[in-house]
Amino acid sequence: MMSLSVTKMAPELVSPCDPTPTGNLPLSSMDKSAPVGFMLDLALVYGHGHEPAKAIRGALSRALVPYHPVAGRIVASDKGEVEVACTASGVWFVEASADCTLEDVNRLERPLSIPAAELLPQAPTKADPEGLILLVQVTEFKCGGFAVGIRFNHAIFDGVGAGQFFKAVGEMARGLPQPTTKPVWCREAIPSPPKVSPDDHDRPFFTPPRFVETVYDVSLDSINLIKNEYVKETGRKCSTFDAVAAALWQSRTRAIGVELHADVCVGLVADVRHLMGDVLPAEGGYYGNCVYPTGVTASGGMIVHASLVEIVDLIKEAKKMLPAKMADWFKGDPREEPSKPRMDYGALCLTDWSRVGFAEVDYGWGDPIHVVPLIGEGHPIASAIFLRPPVPQQGLRVMASCVIEEHRAAFNDEMMNAAWATRSAYSSETNDFTFSAASLPSSPVYFNPITVGKPASELQNTELIRPLEVLMNDASRNVTRSREMDKQLNEIEQIGLESLLI
């Protein structure tokens, strides 16, 4: 195996290129729900560019003029409230080079051939880490490709907001005089609910397990099979998120062997800008946290034995409840506390990064090949992130950290039985991809089972494909559909789920 290394230059501060307003700005109640100093890490991978570090450094300096709070620092006010001091101190920027091509490192697919820390910027030790808002690193590869490593403070941006900012940086790099979306701060416009007494003493102690990371690519054909089945049975449409979330939730619930009477839940985080029209500008541009969690709880037996259509209905119902849940929170209802998700192995949290904007960040050489979350180990809750698959694939990529090693094989078997994933998974335990779906027949549609840990050479043909009729029979066995649920669920706009790490 070849030795790979990344050489980093000394970090430098990139400040706004023009004078900007000073003073302190408040954060919203939603901003304050994120721990101060919590940074979310990712990398955007590009196939080619010309002096990208120089271009992005200059564009960043120009974008920090309309987005001047991002060049400031997080501080505590005299009253102990968290604020942003608009100091124009700047954003830490690192220029780096790798002694390999993107192909040498498989375009930064899992498993990473380069440690995540080598792709991410680090500020000098003298810098206060809790006060930093944004750090950027541009790593150039020998082939001309590059990766933009990003660390952003979740108290300042949600996923949509961070995507909006970096799209603005891309526009500056392409020569636009101003961002096409005018940034809006107005954090004070977000309602602040009455504070409720903490009830942490009512929560049982929970030691987070060590989750195994797996990655699946779900083809567009597979997604459409579920969506078409939903339309056929209900006469209504469901979203891509609904379809994949239902299959994932059922596969995991079956795999972890919960007792049939025990509760399991799935938590979702929704972008609620569309529900804040009375307080936020209609033209958009708000880049602070504007998200709210919702979810649904059901018995393990219901999720194990239900059809995917029924589980999609549960997820849609959870989304339909969102406006009422938010209203209760703003009134100070202690039952609605978004910063306190359920913490046990029966809970699964789903986050959608596929539509937050990172995949459209163009610095002048096109959109990124793919977006790589660089979230480390130790996540306390079983979770999965939905992403766009690498170009030119279509469909959805699922990056899951939701089962322990003991349940890994069963989880992969359930994925095969559900037959919604079209490539074998990468597993952080086996550290390998074991089979590619590229050779599977395309018509009629067949599915690739999950075969982590089993060499492709050992697989029999019967293990590689299952026809649709068998899968649909499996999914709907011994289940009578609840028509009452159909009546209760009205056609609603798809709620955009986005990138907040609960």
Q: Mapped to the 3 state alphabet, what secondary structure does 380-438 carry?
A: CCEEEEEECCCCCCCCEEEEEEEEEHHHHHHHHHHHHHHCCCCCCCEECCCCEECCCHH
Q: Which of 26, 288, 351 is nearest to 157 (CA)?
A: 288
pLDDT in the model for residue 260: 94
Q: Which residues contact 269 (CB under 8 A, 6 or more apart)?
A: 291, 292, 293, 349, 350, 351, 497, 498, 499, 500, 502
Domains detected in the chain: 6-189 (3.30.559.10), 206-488 (3.30.559.10)
3 state DSSP class of 214: strand
Q: Which residues are catalytic?
A: 154, 362
pLDDT in the model for residue 1: 55
Tens digit of pLDDT at every position of the chain (502 positions): 567 899 999 999 999 999 999 999 999 999 998 877 889 999 999 999 999 999 999 999 999 999 999 999 999 999 999 999 999 999 999 999 999 999 999 999 988 999 999 999 999 988 888 899 999 999 999 999 999 999 999 999 999 999 999 999 999 999 999 999 999 999 999 988 876 555 544 555 567 789 999 998 888 999 999 999 999 999 999 999 999 999 999 999 999 999 999 999 999 989 999 999 889 999 999 999 999 999 999 999 999 999 999 999 999 999 999 999 888 887 777 666 665 667 799 999 999 999 999 999 999 999 999 999 998 666 778 999 999 999 899 999 999 999 999 999 999 888 767 645 444 444 555 444 332 222 222 222 223 332 223 333 333 332 222 333 333 333 333 333 333 333 333 333 333 333 333 3
**pTM listed for this prediction:** 0.83
pLDDT in the model for residue 128: 81
pLDDT in the model for residue 461: 31
pLDDT in the model for residue 337: 62
pLDDT in the model for residue 199: 54
CA distance 337 to 325: 10
